[in-house]
Amino acid sequence: MSILTFVRRAPLQPREPGARLVDRLGAVETEDHIVLLGGEGPELMCELLRAGAPRVTHLCAHERPDAASASLVVIPRVPSLDWLASALPAVRRLLADNARVVIYAGPSAGAQTQVWRILTLHGFVPTRASQRTDPRVLSAELPMFGLRHAV
C-alpha cells in the first residue's frame, strides 16, 4: 500500500498591476535604492520588495529628494508631458552616477516619441526600449561625462 501526501498550497493570488513593470526593470536586487515618483507608488513598492529590491522609496511630486541618492528612478505613470518636463530636473538631481530612469510612457507611439524627446532635452541618453516585451517602457541614463545640473 502506498502513502500519498497532499500539500495544500495557498491559492494563487492575482498579480498586482505593477508586476508587469517590475518584470521589465531587470534585476532589482542589485539596485542600491529605487525611487518611485508619482502615482501607483504603494502597489509598485510592494511588488519591488517582493522581487528582492533592498530599498524602495515612494515620493510625491512636491517632495524634494536627497541629491545622488537613487540608483533607479521609476515613473509608473506620466500624467502629462508638461508634468514630466517639470519633474525631470528633480530626477536628474536624485540620480547617482551610473543610474537610470525607467518610464512607462503610455499606449500611443506619439507619447513615446514625445517622452524620448523630453528625456533627450534634459540630458538623458536612451538605453533601451523593450520592443520585444513592451515598447511603452522606456529606459534612459545620464552620461558619466559632462556637466550635471543641480536643482
Strand pairing category for 34-37 and 56-59? parallel
In angstroms, the CA 19 to CA 127 distance is 21
Q: By the 8 A CB rule, do 88 and 65 touch?
A: no
Confidence (pTM): 0.78
Question: Domains of the chain (ranges plus CATH)?
Answer: 19-141 (3.40.50.150)
Q: In this predicted structure, what is the pLDDT of residue 60?
A: 75
Q: Using pLDDT thresholds of 50, 70 and 90, give the confidence band for residue 122.
A: very high
In angstroms, the CA 50 to CA 148 distance is 33
The pLDDT of 66-81, averaged and rounded, is 90
Residue of 14 and 108 predicted with greater confidence: 108
Q: By the 8 A CB rule, do 14 and 47 touch?
A: no
Query: 74 pLDDT exceeds 90?
Result: yes
Q: Using pLDDT thresholds of 50, 70 and 90, give the confidence band for residue 126.
A: confident
Strand pairing category for 95-104 and 137-141? antiparallel
Q: In this predicted structure, what is the pLDDT of residue 27?
A: 86
Q: In this predicted structure, what is the pLDDT of residue 73?
A: 93
